[in-house]
Structure 1
Amino acid sequence: MSIRLGIVGLGKIARDQHLGAIEATGGIELVAVASRNATLDGVASFNDIQDLLSSDTEIDAVSLCTPPQGRFEQARAAIEAGKHVMLEKPPGATLSEVHALEALAKEKGVTLFATWHSREAAAVEPTRALLAQRTIRSVAVEWKEDVRHWHPGQAWIWEPGGLGVFDPGINALSIVTRIMPVPFHLVRSDLFFPENRAAPIAASLVFEAVGGMAVTAEFDWRQTGPQTWDIRIDTEEGPVVVTHGGSRLTVDGEQRMVEEDREYRNLYKHFVQLVGEGRSDADFSPLVHVADAFLLGRRHAVEPFED
């Protein structure tokens, strides 16, 4: 029997990624949506998650595609109703709330899946396996894109809890935390805030790994033209470069792969497996690094941002 799924939040990310991925994945079926501003033909539609949970529509799980602010109450309501929960990234607005959800899911015996779609990009697992066999000297992340293209009119992303440039930057951190064979921690953070916004538009980070190895990251939301989503790893055996958000891998100057985007299909396939096995997958390490960036962040004011 397929998992009967309800999507909460029918915005850009749900329409661009989730709907097609659900349709292409066996073992799961979309039966309901809850959204203040949108409905979907062919499935039951509700104004919010409370209306959905109190209705006669039978669901087994929910996928939360809403902004991180306020998502805790939605996830808690679903878990307390005995539903499995899949969280769009970032999993929440604070560390304490996501750990509370993890504990509640365990208590209620349901699956909690904190997703990191960039970890499902084609080059990530091959890079992880490769780096386990090499000696890393340094890692440099460059993640720069145009916020007006990817997040037009999304005011929530500039508010506290919306993460600002860390909304895309956390994708890079999700990859690096997956491929690195050793842990690393933040030692310096410079955050660049538009004068009229509560979240940063750019960030410059320096991490240190075991043995003093440097990991640097440059995030910027002001890049127009071609977008940059690159991770460059210098190893004693030669350079390893992951580009295009994790979908392409170059090793020692030779391109290894160019793959189509299957990130969200992989996420839903994994969710089906987790539910079937009665397990959760809740790795919050990328969010930990973002929280550290704000804790250690030196604030720099830059020109106002107007959408």
Structure 2
Amino acid sequence: MSTLFGLLRKKMLAPSLASVGFAERGFPVTPSAATVKLEAVPQAVVCGFEWAIEGASLWELERRLELVEPEQRGFAYEGATMGYTILDAMPGGGRNRTRELLEGPGKPHIFLTYIGIGFAMARLPRPLWKNILPELSGVPYHPTMSWLAVDGYGFDRAYFDTRRWVDEQLEPEPYPWAGHPGYFSRAFDQGVGRALWFIHGGDPRAVAEAAGRFPERRRPDLWSGIGLAATFAGGCDRAGLAELRQASGPHHDELALGVVFAVKARTFSSFVPRHTMTAAGILAGLTVEAARALADRTEVAPDFDAPEPPYEVWRDRIRADFSAGDQRRAG
């Protein structure tokens, strides 16, 4: 049940559905049935955020989220996690809402709820980031996949401040997320790559051109984000996906890496839309089952000892599998 303070928080912090739309943001997108579906993604995030920031109990929040169609439900959980994270960070707000959400009904959507934490990071001062990631028990892929919070932070900055982070290609200041400050900008760029897919309405040519305007050293991470967004969110037909694969050129392994993580996230939530199946086949040459199996057999333990975070070691193993496949085909 909403309180007066909850309604005030929603009014002050929640964006309108129109304000997250492509036209309102000034994105160079030609409206179509596909772009309407893509626009539904940030709209679902806003709905989840509104319900959480009002202060809805976990019981009520879970039941509201269940009303969202399965294809968009994970995005609504992103928004709900963002809302609970901000509430937990507020003075006197307590620090249990986010943990209870992620250990409870949000567990099947853990890949996306991490992204919701990143959305909250974009709205909170850096000193509050230190305690923003809850300690979770019984949640698979924690804390390995918590880098998706940094990905979410990058997506948010690119989506809502496109001039600075995309047009001017600003880079974030390092932050010691999970003890690896040097990897922060890379995870950030993975989120920027996802944002490019939305900013250009899933137009493969425009997305590829946008990625190509960034320095070469940043393009691999951008392309993995593009692959993840195209596969998880959809927004492109078969011909467009084939064009996207062709346009990825030397970064195809990164594109395919994003596909594998998108499939893993979709299968973990137990709902795989048809567009994800299609993208997996065209962009990565894999069935959904094969992509999930590749993610599973290359998984890295959270305590894996390496100079890079376990998250990147896992990504590198997937990337290496595609590189090996390319070499076998060439031979």
TM-score, normalization: structure 1? 0.31
User: Which has the bigger relative contact order, CA under 8 A and spacing at least 6?
Assistant: 1
Q: Which has the higher strand share?
A: 1
